[in-house]
Amino acid sequence: MTVKQFQAESKRLLDLMVNSIYTHKEIFLRELISNASDAIDKIYYKALTDEALNFNKEDYFIKVEVDKLARLLKISDTGIGMTREELEENLGVIAKSGSFAFKKETELKEGFDIIGQFGVGFYSAFMVSDVVTVTSRALGSDEAYKWESKGADGYTIESCSKENVGTEIVLKIKENTADENYDEFLEEYRLKSIIKKYSDFIRYPIKMELIKSKLKEGTEQEYEQYKEEEIVNSMVPIWKKSKNELTQEDYDNFYAEKHFGFDKPIKHIHISAEGTISYKAILFIPEKMPFDFYTKEYEKGLELYSNGVLIMHKCADLLPDYFSFIKGMVDSEDLSLNISREMLQHDRQLKLIAKNIKTKIKNELLDLLKNSREKYEEFYKSFGRQLKYGLYSDYGANKKDLQDLLLFYSSKEKKMVTLDEYLSRMTEEQKYIYYASGESIERIDKLPQTELLNDKGYEILYFTDDVDEFSIRMLGAYKEKEFRSVSSGDLGIESEEANTSDADDQSNLDLFTEMKELLADKVKSVKASKRLKNHPVCLTNDGDLSIEMEKILSAMPNNQNIKADKVLEINVNHAVFQQLKEAGQGDKEKLKLYTNLLYNQALLIEGLAVEDPVEFSNNICKLMS
Ligand SMILES: Nc1ncnc2c1ncn2[C@@H]1O[C@H](COP(=O)(O)OP(=O)(O)OP(=O)(O)O)[C@@H](O)[C@H]1O
């Protein structure tokens, strides 16, 4: 029998397969089952158009059988089969229109992960087997042919006999090597789990003979083994069912079965889109944060199916980072099974799907916020931070999409509020949306900087998350209202307060200049406060960087010691100020002591560390004695 040569392209691919060190070799089974399913589809469609043909669903199935001793794995189908010519054409020539050819030789040599990047169809069988034998009888033919190959050296074709129409692929599974275990592909239970994982939703039954054990009749402890044929796949994908056919439990089960999370999702989104793009998707909004969510290990993405066949476990391109918590799957008939990861990024269909999904998720979240506030707040506790990251990532490109999903604690309402709710309560003369940053609600409650605003009855949003201020800075304004920190130099309040009347008289200004000199570059200036009521001092900032941001930046690993420009504000109506004034008029030592004490108090209130605790404590003693 003459050995025929493969086409050059096919030979290259085969070489790669035979010598592959790819770690997910199990996908060969997905590829073969997918081909078998396609072959049954073809008969099915023929039957739809040809009255002479009857499609009897029970006659159509895929079967996976193992002969452990002989190291053989057989995948057979009752599909359309192949003629001799088709065997030559389909298996001797690489069918891919260029996905493979488009990679340059050099890239392939450098270990380009072709298998991971491309579904590779039939040839993937050579990753796990030494010899592949395909026996096929085409629909309408009495003859059958056997195609056989040991890999890149070529293949043979001869006629043979086969009882039924269809194709049988027998793989001679490789022997184990020091690094690779091939025996697993001869274990029924391993095969079953591979089928469940990748081909669960193939429309036709995938049958396997599984060894089971049962109690021997008449005994109480003796077991005997027997074989039983089982359909391994569930066949109908839940996403292809209509929404009214499904219960909440169905969705919850699907979530659990797919290992999307251990919690119960807060909401599912079942999409069935048709039109310019057609796809189906089931997405979940989880309730609890996965333990690794805010670590590098966490991988975002959705399962991607092409017409019921899983092509990618985590397709990251389907989700923007700020929705990285979303779990689920997408199935589209418009996507090729063999699309590469690289090509996916540029795939127009996929981009459209991703855009569509993004809008749907946003709308569902808005709906949750509007109609199930409690649930939304629960969700926000876990993932609000991610939404806020989304605000400032990509240079704020997504801020419009995300701004209405934000929640902050309100000084007035004593609960989480949206920016829109804040706006609805603003009075006409209120210029800005005010916020205060701090470690916790309790701490912010006590911040002296909030006194004036509270007095005026203005609502303050509390920023307790370290991303808050950064993301709000990116947002800049909400519906044309700018944000303003309670610590910022200008609060935009026309001061009709009497307490500032003598604040700027010359003697005070001289005193402040002197205090500034004593504090040197610790502060940018010392001045009379317009915002303090009961507290003697506070720190505010002059410039873009707030004190809160300074704290966050200095806690980062690559701390560059960036400092906010601090202003020490003094309450000129406070009893302490009189003492300070008196000290300033002659007792320089006392002025130094008071200035230091006040400055350190302001640091403590702000949650900043006192620079020299020993000196601070000595100063208190000095004051007492
Ligand atoms: N079990 C089968 N029954 C009938 N024809 C088959 C079978 N397996 C493979 N073929 C034929 O061989 C061709 C090549 O298969 P291969 O898996 O390499 O690529 P493909 O299936 O065309 O591509 P894709 O995997 O992207 O669908 C198929 O298109 C099909 O015509």
Distant-in-sequence contacts of 262-271, Cβ < 8 A, 24+ apart: 262/288, 263/287, 263/288, 265/327, 266/368, 266/375, 266/378, 266/379, 267/364, 267/368, 267/375, 268/328, 269/328, 269/360, 269/361, 269/364, 270/239, 270/243, 270/246, 271/356, 271/357, 271/360
- Is residue 509 scored above 60 in pLDDT? yes
* CATH number of the domain where residue 94 is located: 3.30.565.10
Residue 119 Cβ inside 6 Å of ligand 1? The answer reads yes
Residue 79 Cβ inside 6 Å of ligand 1? The answer reads yes
Q: Is residue 2 a part of any domain in this protein? A: no
How far apart (Å, rounded) are the C-alpha atoms in residues 136 and 145? 6
Handedness of CA 389, 390, 393, 396 (dihedral sign): negative
* CATH number of the domain where residue 593 is located: 1.20.120.790
77 in a labelled binding site: yes
| Per-residue confidence (pLDDT) for residue 138, from 0 to 100 | 97
Q: Is residue 391 a part of any domain in this protein? A: no
Q: Is residue 392 a part of any domain in this protein? A: no
Same domain, 503 and 480: no
Same domain, 20 and 116: yes
Number of domains in the chain: 4
Same domain, 69 and 211: yes
Atom nearest to 81 CA in ligand 1: 4
Q: Is residue 3 a part of any domain in this protein? A: no
What digits encode the pLDDT tens for the residues 597-622?
999 999 998 888 898 999 999 999 98
Identity of the highest mean pLDDT range in 236-245, 338-347, 513-522: 513-522
Confidence of residue 504 (pLDDT cuts 50, 70, 90): low
Same domain, 56 and 151: yes
Cβ atoms of residues 493 and 413 within 8 Å? no
Same domain, 21 and 111: yes
Question: 232, exposed or middle or buried, with CB in 10 Å at 0-12, 13-18, 19+?
Answer: buried
Percent of the residues in the chain that have a pLDDT greater than 90, as a whole number: 52
Average pLDDT of the chain, as a whole number = 87
Same domain, 254 and 219: no
pTM: 0.66
The β-bridge partners of 129 are: 173
DSSP β-ladder status, 72-77 and 166-173 = antiparallel
CA of 194 to the centre of ligand 1 (A): 20
Q: Is residue 61 a part of any domain in this protein? A: yes
| Per-residue confidence (pLDDT) for residue 97, from 0 to 100 | 39
Ligand 1 mutation target, pool 6, 35, 40, 204, most atoms within 8 A of CB: 35
Residue 39 Cβ inside 6 Å of ligand 1? The answer reads yes
Handedness of CA 490, 491, 494, 498 (dihedral sign): negative
Decide which of 488, 508, 542 is a domain's last residue.
488
Same domain, 478 and 545: no
* CATH number of the domain where residue 441 is located: 3.40.50.11260
120 in a labelled binding site: yes
Structure tokens at 606: 């702000």
Same domain, 263 and 351: yes
Between 542 and 69, where is the model more confident? 69
Same domain, 129 and 249: no
What digits encode the pLDDT tens for the residues 288-302?
888 888 888 889 999
Same domain, 23 and 161: yes
Q: Is residue 394 a part of any domain in this protein? A: no
Residue 337 Cβ inside 6 Å of ligand 1? The answer reads yes
- Is residue 544 scored above 60 in pLDDT? yes
Ligand 1 mutation target, pool 122, 124, 337, 340, most atoms within 8 A of CB: 122
Choice among 76-80, 124-128, 268-272 with the minimum mean pLDDT: 124-128
CA of 32 to the centre of ligand 1 (A): 8
Percent of the residues in the chain that have a pLDDT greater than 70, as a whole number: 92
Query: How many helices, marked H, and strands, marked E, lie in the chain?
Result: 20, 22
Q: Is residue 358 a part of any domain in this protein? A: yes
DSSP β-ladder status, 223-231 and 155-160 = unpaired
296 DSSP 8-state letter:
T
**DSSP letters along 345-369, please?**
HH-HHHHHHHHHHHHHHHHHHHHHH
With CA atoms as reference, report the closest residue to 205 among 76, 330, 331: 76
Choice among 58-62, 135-139, 258-262 with the minimum mean pLDDT: 258-262
- Which 3 state secondary structure label does DSSP give 91? helix
CA of 36 to the centre of ligand 1 (A): 8
Decide which of 184, 203, 234 is a domain's last residue.
234
| Per-residue confidence (pLDDT) for residue 156, from 0 to 100 | 96
Structure tokens at 339: 């699309």
Ligand 1 mutation target, pool 38, 88, 307, most atoms within 8 A of CB: 38
Decide which of 234, 261, 292 is a domain's last residue.
234
Same domain, 184 and 268: no
- The residue assigned the tokens 């779990």 is 327
How far apart (Å, rounded) are the C-alpha atoms in residues 584 and 576? 12
How far apart (Å, rounded) are the C-alpha atoms in residues 566 and 21? 60
Same domain, 32 and 147: yes
Nearest CA to ligand 1 atom 11: 90
Between 310 and 520, where is the model more confident? 520
Structural domain range at position 264: 239-381
Please count the other Cβ atoms lying within 10 Å of the Cβ belonging to residue 363: 11
- Is residue 316 scored above 90 in pLDDT? yes
| Per-residue confidence (pLDDT) for residue 99, from 0 to 100 | 43
As a whole number, mean pLDDT of residues 381-387 equals 94
- Alpha helices, H only, 403-488: 419-425, 441-445, 451-455, 468-475
* CATH number of the domain where residue 374 is located: 3.30.230.80
208 in a labelled binding site: no
98 in a labelled binding site: yes
Q: Is residue 395 a part of any domain in this protein? A: no
CA of 82 to the centre of ligand 1 (A): 10
What digits encode the pLDDT tens for the residues 149-197?
998 889 999 999 999 999 999 999 999 999 899 999 999 999 999 998 8
Q: Please give the angle made by the CA atoms of 72, 119 and 21, to the nearest 5 degrees.
A: 65
Atom nearest to 336 CA in ligand 1: 26
- Is residue 524 scored above 50 in pLDDT? yes
